[in-house]
Amino acid sequence: MDLYIERLQVADAESLYKFELENRKFFEEMVPTRGEEYYNPEIFKKRHEALLEEQAQGGSYFYLIKNEDSSILGRINLVDIDRFHKIGHLGYRVGQEHTAKGIANQALQKLIETIADEDIKQIKAETTTNNIASQ
């Protein structure tokens, strides 16, 4: 499957909200819930704006994983970037209908290529014990 990653933008709020709603139950089986408030459209929009601000300040990079039709397959992020130690922390989620296709692996490779000039030497990742596919 051809895919690409694209830096999160203001215009992504609506499609990202839809993606999160469609995959909510699946995601909550793998990771702790984000809470009911997260799915309130007004609050989601404010959180989206906060992510964009954090990204603009260089503290994190947020990307959408998309296919050739520009549909969202997932998200991949590098957060809590420590410029002094040159470390970032990986986070990602792939929509339920797109699992077991190597999408996260491809997206990670694209993320590494994308941040090559950012002087980040180490990417750390954690997963929940029940998320076998991510281990």
Q: In this predicted model, what pLDDT tens digit does every residue of 77-106 receive, in sequence order? A: 999 999 999 999 999 999 998 988 999 999
Backbone angles phi, psi at 33, to 5 degrees: -60, 150
* Domain count of the fold of the chain: 1
Q: Is residue 134 part of a domain?
A: no
**pLDDT averaged per 10 residues in sequence order, the chain, 135 residues:** 92 94 83 74 91 93 95 95 93 90 92 88 74 55
Q: Is residue 35 part of a domain?
A: yes
Residue 16 has a pLDDT of: 95
Residue 29 has a pLDDT of: 79
The owner of tokens 């969202």 is: 72
Print the domain residue range for 95: 1-123
Do 82 and 88 form a contact (C-beta atoms < 8 A)? yes
Q: Is residue 132 part of a domain?
A: no
Residue 74 has a pLDDT of: 96
CATH number at residue 52: 3.40.630.30
Do 77 and 61 form a contact (C-beta atoms < 8 A)? yes
Residue 24 makes CB contacts below 8 A (sequence gap 6+) with 39
Give the SS3 label for residue 127.
coil
Q: Is residue 54 part of a domain?
A: yes
